[in-house]
Amino acid sequence: MLRLLVRLLALAPALLAHDARAHLSSDSYLHIDVDARGLRGQWDIALRDLDAAVGLDAPEDGVVTWGRLKARRDAIEAYAYARLAIDGCALQPLDLLVDYHAGAAYAVLRFSAECGATRSRRLHYRLLFDIDPTHRGLLTITTPASERSEILSPDGADSALDDLSSDQSGSVLGFVRFGVGHILLGHDHLLFVAVLMIFAAFRRGEDGRWKPLDGFGESALQTVTILTAFTAAHAVTLSLSAFRLVDAPARLVEPAVAATIMAAAIDNLRPILPRARWIVAFGFGLVHGLAFATALGPMGLSTSGTLLALAGFNGGVELGQIAAASLLLPIVFAARRNLLYVRMIAPALTFVAFVVALAWFVDRVGTLR
């Protein structure tokens, strides 16, 4: 067990090389209206993704102006519409606009579709999969009488436009997978959970020192309580964001997320936060929830659709956290009475996490200028 912990310690500094904006996953938002007149759509694609695909920042000064975006309109539309197809339909580009979701800039491509007679129309989505397999397309299809949402991925990139069944189980399951993916790809979120897990088989005594717990069941219960509090907290702020009651810019939230990791790391070494760690997890979870603000809000779902998406997404987040914790808890529990772990390995892991979070914090604060 200790050998594995030492290996984790040796690998941890590699996180320093990771993109500091660890919560900014690659997502696009595709909304299609289907009625008797035909199809109309709006496609929001992050400028950072388009820059990687077709190049928007020609002088490489980190700035994408409206003028540069317009100058690259033909390249943007050629790239995007070559990766979106609807059976029996010819897509006609209309407008190129700009919108912001949680402070991040998106190109807005509006289009119509001329469709011939066909029994069924299927949508085929291929955006960015060739350069970023973690990319997801968040699809919303509406008719005058119904609505359906889906998560499009390399393994599920097609969708039937004519079958808007009332059965939403498939959509909910898609959002569960989406939530799991957000956790597993959200390195700063995982790092925060890992910092809390370093002393998951301990309790803090009156003197501020960590005391090992006797039973594995008690350790597991304490861990699940912490993770559930964390999920509940960011479910609150995510819900407020999804219903557009809160709009916190990512450029402010991202440094705050890094700061929560730093604070949790310091608390591992010297008590500065409440002794009940579920309270710490809940408080900091409110901040982490804001970092997920772009996940669902821009989909423009109805109230019922948003509630189903939130239930699936938050369930996936909890499952992802528990899966990660289930790998770490047995190791920490087995090492809880080992002096080498308590006095050297755990503090060293905590210190590495603090340094990584500090590097992210400095980099993210730099983007505020």
Q: Are 316 and 177 in contact (CB under 8 A)?
A: yes
How many Cα atoms are found within 13 Å in the side-chain-facing hemisphere of 309?
26
- Are residue 17 and residue 32 in the same domain, yes or no? no
pLDDT of residue 196: 94
- Are residue 161 and residue 206 in the same domain, yes or no? no
DSSP code for 119: S
- Tell me the C-alpha distance between 247 and 268, whole Å: 32
pLDDT of residue 223: 95
- Are residue 347 and residue 316 in the same domain, yes or no? yes
- Tell me the C-alpha distance between 189 and 57, whole Å: 29
Which stretches does DSSP call E strand in the chain?
27-35, 38-46, 84-86, 89-101, 104-115, 122-125, 136-142, 147-152, 158-160, 202-204, 210-212
- Are residue 47 and residue 134 in the same domain, yes or no? yes
pLDDT of residue 22: 47
**What is residue 205's three-state secondary structure?**
coil
pLDDT of residue 243: 82
**Residue 252, domain member (yes or no):** yes
- Are residue 15 and residue 60 in the same domain, yes or no? no
Q: What is the pTM of this model?
A: 0.81
**Residue 173, domain member (yes or no):** no
The two beta strands, 27-35 and 136-142, are: parallel
- Tell me the C-alpha distance between 321 and 180, whole Å: 8
Give the chain's residues under pLDDT 50: 1-2, 4-6, 8-11, 13, 15-23
Q: Which amino acid is at 239?
A: S
- Tell me the C-alpha distance between 351 and 329, whole Å: 19
The tokens 């964001």 sit on which residue? 241
- Are residue 345 and residue 238 in the same domain, yes or no? yes
How many Cα atoms are found within 13 Å in the side-chain-facing hemisphere of 338?
15
- Are residue 57 and residue 91 in the same domain, yes or no? yes
**Residue 58, domain member (yes or no):** yes
pLDDT digits (tens, 9 = 90+) for 26-85: 889 999 998 777 789 999 999 989 998 998 866 565 667 788 888 999 999 999 999 999
- Are residue 231 and residue 353 in the same domain, yes or no? yes
**Residue 175, domain member (yes or no):** no
**Residue 181, domain member (yes or no):** no
- Are residue 301 and residue 162 in the same domain, yes or no? no
- Are residue 119 and residue 226 in the same domain, yes or no? no
**Residue 178, domain member (yes or no):** no
The H helix count followed by the E strand count for the chain is 12, 11
pLDDT of residue 169: 60
- Tell me the C-alpha distance between 275 and 260, whole Å: 16
- Are residue 236 and residue 122 in the same domain, yes or no? no
- Tell me the C-alpha distance between 195 and 351, whole Å: 10
**What is residue 318's three-state secondary structure?**
helix
Among 136, 168, 200, the domain boundary falls at: 168
**Residue 142, domain member (yes or no):** yes
Owning domain of residue 218: 2-22+186-366
**Residue 174, domain member (yes or no):** no
- Are residue 59 and residue 134 in the same domain, yes or no? yes
pLDDT digits (tens, 9 = 90+) for 157-167: 999 887 665 55
Which two structure tokens, joined as six digits, stand for 213?
């717990």
User: How many structural domains comprise the chain?
Assistant: 2
Q: Are 187 and 18 in contact (CB under 8 A)?
A: yes
Total count of residues recorded for the chain: 369
